[in-house]
Amino acid sequence: MEPLRKAIGRGTSENPTNRFETLSVAQDLEHLDESDAEQFAARKHPTEYFADVTQSLITKNDSPDIPFTYSLNPYRGCSHGCSYCYARPYHEYLGFSSGLDFETKIMVKREAPRLFRDFLARKSWKCEVIAMSGVTDCYQTAEREFEVTCGCLEVALDARQPLGIITKNALILRDIDLLAEMARQHLVCANISVTSLDQKLTRAMEPRTSSPAARLNAIEKLTEAGIPVNVMVAPIIPGLNDTEVPAILREVAQRGAIGAGYTILRLPHAVKDIFTQWLEEHLPEHAERVRSRIESCREGRLSDARWGSRMRGEGIIAETIAKTFSMFRDKYNLTQKKIALDTASFRGPSQNGKSQLKMF
């Protein structure tokens, strides 16, 4: 008997062994009959939240192919459960797995607003744009309960600290009044990720993200509020969503986006096996084609960690994607490459430690 292993509402059914650990856990359902095994394997996997007591918040990178130096991530792990997420291996540094653990065991930096305030109060801080988030989504489901991101936005507005927000969740609209005030002072831009317009595909590939329609609506509402929006078609997966590029760019332009960028799928460490297993489970008839086209962009491999090529890929298919994206980006006037934010007005956080912006 081969029991079903699909985890309801999750991007993967697997918990691959942590590459830093010597022990692994194997699921053994041989003691159950077939109906019990199916029920056990398909059970819901609840999300658990843990307090992240780290006292460092702002991360610095020097990668030449990442367009920001500093980033702030209020959460570690992400309940969105995107099967392709490059951030999954970061969970292994916490002793967890890149698989279900990444989606169900979320570390919450409850003290992030205070830590952010303390960071901005440093005399050594020379203001420049901070990305939020560069790894896991700052508007994932946890934000509804913990409001850590909202607290950090209040600190940023109080200090006149510019932020570039990266999300694929329409929950960003909850903070639209606060963001509109930041935008009025040229302190924020929103970067919305749109991977597909196909609700069936996104529901399987990104099971707990906002629907494509909700993301398009978020772009429109943010634009109407005066908040500049850039769109990331990320990742483009050769053989799966690459043909949607023209339609995606047309739709986001109609909603008011002013710029667009993309990355080609990259599958570091355990993500290779998680994503290919997802393909076999959800799209078995397309799995071989998608895999071969990914490999054609990665010199015969599924992953390429080299700077310069890891975001864009190489070869004929990668070049075709680049030309197609460039052509339709220009056609729909999504050509603003960088939204200028104000770093000169930075004044640091209020002395009393409390923002005057609770009205938002």
- Has residue 295 got a pLDDT over 50? yes
**C-alpha separations of 223 from 179, 191, 192, 250, 252 in Å:** 11, 12, 12, 16, 11
* Structure confidence at residue 282 (pLDDT): 94
* Structure confidence at residue 301 (pLDDT): 86
Mean pLDDT is lowest, of 59-68, 286-295, 322-331, for: 59-68
Residue 246 vs residue 268, higher pLDDT: 246
pLDDT, tens digit, 9 for 90 and up, residues 208-249: 999 999 999 999 999 999 999 999 999 999 999 999 999 999
Share of the chain above pLDDT 70, in %: 86
* Structure confidence at residue 221 (pLDDT): 98
Sequence-distant (6+) residues with CB within 8 A of 15 are 25, 97, 99, 100, 101
- Has residue 2 got a pLDDT over 80? no
pLDDT, tens digit, 9 for 90 and up, residues 129-157: 999 988 999 999 999 999 999 999 999 99
* Structure confidence at residue 29 (pLDDT): 46
Mean pLDDT is lowest, of 5-14, 118-127, 226-235, 312-321, for: 5-14
* Structure confidence at residue 23 (pLDDT): 53
* Structure confidence at residue 353 (pLDDT): 53
Closest to 291 measured CA to CA, from 281, 306, 304, 280: 280
pTM of the model: 0.88
pLDDT, tens digit, 9 for 90 and up, residues 36-55: 444 444 456 889 999 999 89
- Indicate the pLDDT class of residue 62, thresholds 50, 70 and 90: confident
Strand-pairing partners, residue 236, are 264
Please state the φ and ψ torsions of residue 270, each to the nearest 5 degrees: -70, -15
Contact 80, 140 (CB under 8 A): yes
Structural element, H or E, at residue 282: helix 271-282
Return the HEC string of 179-216.
HHHHHHCCCEEEEEECCCCCHHHHHHHCCCCCCHHHHH
Question: What integer is the mean pLDDT of 303-308?
Answer: 78
* Structure confidence at residue 82 (pLDDT): 96
* Structure confidence at residue 16 (pLDDT): 67
* Structure confidence at residue 355 (pLDDT): 47
